[in-house]
Structure 1
Amino acid sequence: MTYYKHPSAIVDEGAQIGTDSRVWHFVHVCAQAVIGKGVSLGQNVFVGNKVTIGDYCKIQNNVSVYDNVHLEEGVFCGPSMVFTNVYNPRSLIERKDQYRNTLVKKGATLGANCTIICGVTIGEYAFIGAGAVVNKDVPAYALMVGVPAKQIGWMSEFGEQLALPVVGSGKAACEATGDSYVLEDGILRKI
């Protein structure tokens, strides 16, 4: 085994887990899950069958990554945040054929206790605030808060808020790294 697995964790036969990953207390990883290298699965995490988790993701305690959720490299899932996979679930009606794909792109942060409604795409390096409810696609680098989540700003790849308007255009630098960003036509990019 090229990863660490706590004795209380359950990793079903067939699950793929990358080198140097850590599977902590009371985690359950289903048989068809594909998990990259250097991933940390905190206490009480569940990973479904039709799930991919990219390299260097960090999934904090009490998060369930259900079928049809896909995380690219370097995604941070805060404690007790929630993914869904059926838009309108009912206990007495089987709806596995209605799972919607959710994609969280490289470097995004999903704050503690936020909820990601299935079928959305979270853009690269987006930052979802604690407790927010995301029910629509999120642009790259967007800072989202509230219920339902609304964009209130832009974030750098380092995780610092940039001095830019939500709409319009402009240039800004990350105070922590000095990296430059430009906003044009509602799209932020690093330059």
Structure 2
Amino acid sequence: MPKLTDTQTIILSAGAQRPENIALPLPKGLAGAAAKMAVTKMIEHGWLQEVEADLRRGEPLWRETGDGHGTMLVVTDAGLLAIGIEPLAMKVGVASRGGVKDQPEVKHPTLRTGTKQALLIAMLQRPDGATIAEIIAATGWQAQSARGAMSGALGKKLGLAVVSAKEDARGRVYRIGQPA
């Protein structure tokens, strides 16, 4: 499988967190030819799929088809697997009187509230992000536990793109999403 770029990881991770795995809106700063190239490449790999947008429901529009309709982008099962998220958990269906079985139930990652993990996510979603020292002070974790939580629980299990950047004033700062 091809290696994901940072942009591809961000698009897939954000889409995995949205209802129905809708990949729009794209990250800020990604527009025009660069957006078209990134999306085309992801469609070629099977990570994104264009589906008809229901404009009456206010679904985000990727492109207009010229007949009063448009398309939106959805993260596929392959796209979810590419970022380490199980795409579908089958619910065991029991045949009803009409012989119709229950539909499969989509399993989305759940974010638990009131936990250290939720606190970590909130810290990383702030515009100024968080340093390891700030995370340690807030959670009481060791440095290796904080890094492990960002890599394992947030990155691999929840599919969040945790990025870091070295800043002169604060040192290494971690954020969810694109580097500043």
Query: Could you say which structure has the larger radius of gyration?
Result: 2
| TM-score above 0.5, yes or no | no
Greater fraction of residues in strand: 1
TM-score normalised according to structure 2 size: 0.27
Greater fraction of residues in helix: 2
